[in-house]
Amino acid sequence: MQLNVNGHTVDTDAAGDTPLLDVLRNHLDLKGSRYGCGLEQCGTCMVLIDGKAEYSCAREVGSVVGRSIVTIEGLGGDHPLQTAFLEEQAGQCGYCVSGIIMTAKALLDANPSPTRAEIAAALDRNLCRCGAHPRMLRAVEKAAAAIRAAAVGVTS
């Protein structure tokens, strides 16, 4: 089957009922999305599917044929969210960060000026056991400001 991952058409011989996360990590060698609970409860496996943050651990790969899938690798390494997370030291152990960044990306794409409460609500599906949530909230706010500034041509 063919998938659209990070803007590229890729082929996989995985069975249609294989979890999308398994295909991303083990067939396509995209290791940024993590396996956490396998029950769509922790958010470490979040990817964007047609622009919406979705769990990939229990989603069957056959259900995403013809849809756009973006993983953390698809952001290119210099996205304002990634920069802000590094600057704010928002990932203590880092295990949950890729899923949180993907959730935040979906939020900022839909709402470039979220309030702190809206950010917290969006990240509610993502668990972080390290207690870095306050820094993560600051990082998302910082990235939102950078994205807004870039949209109007202002450099910081």
Give residue 154's pLDDT.
64
pTM of the model: 0.94
- Cα 92 from chain centre: 17
Closest C-alpha among 45, 51, 40 to residue 23: 45
DSSP per residue, 114-127:
--HHHHHHHGGGS-
pLDDT of 155 > 70? The answer is: no
Domains delineated in the chain: 2-75 (3.10.20.30), 80-151 (1.10.150.120)
- Determine the Cα angle at 47 with ends 42 and 52, to 5°: 100
- Kindly report, residue by residue over 24-38, the tens digit of the pLDDT: 999 999 999 999 999
Would the pLDDT of 123 be above 80? yes
Q: Give the model confidence (pLDDT) of 5-20 as tens digits.
A: 999 999 999 999 999 9
User: 10 Å Cβ neighbour count for 66?
Assistant: 10
User: Could you give the CA distance from residue 125 to residue 25 in angstroms, rounded to a whole number?
Assistant: 21
